Amino acid sequence: MIERDGRNIVLTVAYDGTEFFGFQSQAGTGLPTIQEALETAIHKLTGETITVEGSGRTDTGVHAWGQVVNFFTKSTIPPERWLLALAPYLPETIVVRESRQAAADFHARFSAKEKTYVYQFYCQAVPSPFHRRYSYHVTYDLDVEAMQEAAGYLEGSHDFRAFCAAGAKTKTFVREIYACRLEQDGCLLRLVVRGNGFLWNMVRIIAGTLLGVGAGKRRPQDLPVLLGLGDRRLTGATLPPQGLTLHHVEYGDLLK
Amino acid sequence: MIERDGRNIVLTVAYDGTEFFGFQSQAGTGLPTIQEALETAIHKLTGETITVEGSGRTDTGVHAWGQVVNFFTKSTIPPERWLLALAPYLPETIVVRESRQAAADFHARFSAKEKTYVYQFYCQAVPSPFHRRYSYHVTYDLDVEAMQEAAGYLEGSHDFRAFCAAGAKTKTFVREIYACRLEQDGCLLRLVVRGNGFLWNMVRIIAGTLLGVGAGKRRPQDLPVLLGLGDRRLTGATLPPQGLTLHHVEYGDLLK
């Protein structure tokens, strides 16, 4: 049970997920997670034992630039001071980028209106020691135009069960994707996906499927067929976590 | 003594220096270095015990994009195959970007005509978990125009003893800087310095001195005065190694 007394503090958090076992606490395992690191830092700062709610769980090795979390505190630390106050208690790999107070009914997960994920490919024959932690290395030439065309078919409201890890529990597989685009930036190719919600491993499976299109193994027009068949076995591989970053969570008027 | 039998193989090597104790082998210490990692990889591949010569030593924590090394081998591996052949024996943090054969008298250090170093500043109030390994975090506003003006005074042939770590052994402190420029790239500010040679810690001290100019603590026209006085105590701090990258070594016609 989360105590809803005191201020509802909202943090925007960036992290390098390389050395963490995902966002969610894995109680009793001793494995480092983002949630546990944040809760420990808050405990050291205020003495309170609180639960931090994230906008969603990121998996082991996945990064965030704009993860959003909230928690209730009786501390009198002004909302905007939490950013600096927590810094000494966090590892260098977790940075609070913004802190503020929200209404008592704001919830990082349930209040989220849309999320943006970025999957990053490093496209070069030879790998880069500087990008290995934050991208997936692709050694062959990609047909980015075909990938872009394929990505366009994913925009809109669809049943994405073919792009969801087996065994995921969910009431519905329907999600609305507002934008699914590719952006080239030198050796980096970024898949940017914005939607009202995402299924488990959805972006990594989309990235793997679009990679197949880029490699000429699939055609762009296969995408609507894959959506229609709804069979996970027909879509691409789940690409590795280090290419994925939770870039932004949007709350509209609920968080200004 | 380096055996000069066999082929003279030249490698262009990129590395993330974060977890290495610099380029040069520290025999008997067990500390990981780039040279030791390369020599071990070559030994595992060919069985030969050889010495790798680098274009220069990079200090603990300093990175390279284009470090150049050479070594003599009796192996029949074709020169251009070394790139792929060594990869399985190297950590992910060291990447051979190019391999080729040079004339017997080519020497990575003595044949070098010019080097380019980059010192990277991350300019934002809040640090970034993704840039912390590869930049120096600056939280205050910088006057980049003043820094650029100051950097211009360092171009040309000068006695750089004021920009050299105390205790460095060298015949002369005179070096020629062909270009000393600042480049802004979003939150990143890059100091790019190209010259015929560099003294110990020279780029990190230049970076520290220019940072003082950017912060308004020094004027651009102080730079010629600092050069003239030749006193290390008057120049800026040696900035931390993680911002520095050996970007390129140029050999002109000796390496095509």
Q: How many Cβ pairs closer than 8 A exist between chain A and B? A: 48
Tell me the shortest Cα–Cα distance from B2 to chain A, in angstroms.
29
* Nearest beta carbon to residue B130 from set A96, A129, A134: A134
Does A2 map to a domain? no
pLDDT for B3: 56
Question: Does residue B254 fall inside a structural domain?
Answer: no
Contact A179, A156 (CB under 8 A): no
Flag whether B133 is in a domain. Answer: yes
- Residue B104 shares a structural domain with residue B164: no
Q: Cβ of A185 under 8 Å from any chain B Cβ? A: no
Q: 3-state class of A23 per DSSP?
A: coil
Both A96 and A195 in a single domain? no
What's the pLDDT band for A27 if we cut at 50, 70, 90?
confident
| pLDDT of amino acid B2 | 54
Instruction: Tally the domains of chain B.
Output: 2
CB contact under 8 A, B127 and A92: yes
Residue B88 domain flag: yes
Q: What is the pLDDT of residue B30?
A: 84
- Tell whether A238 is covered by a domain: yes
What's the domain range around B128?
114-249
CA distance B213 to B144: 9
CA distance A32 to A20: 5
Q: Which residues of B touch A130 (CB under 8 A)?
A: 14, 16, 63, 65, 134
| More confident position, A233 or B167 | A233
- Contact state of B83 with A134 under an 8 Å Cβ cutoff: no
Residues B138, B239 within the same domain: yes
* A22-32 average pLDDT score: 89
Tens-digit pLDDT string for chain B (256 aa): 455 689 999 999 999 999 999 999 987 788 999 999 999 999 999 999 999 999 999 999 999 999 999 999 999 999 999 999 999 999 999 999 999 999 999 999 999 999 999 999 999 999 999 999 999 999 999 999 999 999 999 999 999 999 999 887 889 999 999 999 999 999 999 999 999 999 999 999 999 999 999 999 999 999 999 999 999 999 999 999 999 999 999 999 888 7
Contact B126 A83 (CB under 8 A): yes
Q: Do B162 and B227 contact (CB within 8 A), yes or no?
A: yes
Q: Does A72 touch chain B (CB under 8 A)?
A: no
Q: What integer pLDDT is reported at residue B5 of this predicted model?
A: 80
Under DSSP, the state recorded for B211 is: H
CATH number at residue A67: 3.30.70.580
- Whether A235 is in a domain gets the answer yes
Domain end (from A91, A111, A131): A111
Instruction: List the catalytic residues of B.
Output: 59
With an 8 Å Cβ cutoff, are B14 and A129 in contact? yes
Q: Which residue of chain A is at minimal alpha-carbon distance from B125?
A: A97
The distance of A223 to chain B (nearest Cα, Å) reads 33
Asked if the model's pLDDT at residue A1 lies above 50, the reply is no
Choose one of A111, A141, A165: the last residue of a domain. A111
Task: State residue A2's pLDDT score.
Answer: 54
What is the mean pLDDT of the segment spanning A22-35? 91
pLDDT, mean of residues A83-105: 96
Give residue B165's pLDDT. 93
Cβ atoms B112, B68 nearer than 8 A: yes
Nearest to B129 among A16, A126, A130 (CB): A16
ipTM: 0.88
Strands A63-73 and A94-102: unpaired
Is residue B49 included in any domain, yes or no? yes
User: How far B18 CA lies from chain A's nearest CA (Å)?
Assistant: 10
* Nearest partner of B134 among B65, B203, B67, judged by Cα: B65
Taking only the tens place, the pLDDT of each residue in A97-139 is 999 999 999 999 999 999 999 999 999 999 999 999 999 999 9
Top-confidence residue, A57 or B30 = A57
Q: Measured on CA atoms in the order A97, A103, A109, A111, is the torsion positive or negative?
A: negative
- At B64, is the secondary structure helix, strand, or coil? strand
Of chain B, the end-to-end C-alpha distance in Å amounts to 27
Q: Which of A111, A143, A167 is the last residue in one of the domains? A: A111
Interchain CB contact of A194 with B (< 8 Å): no
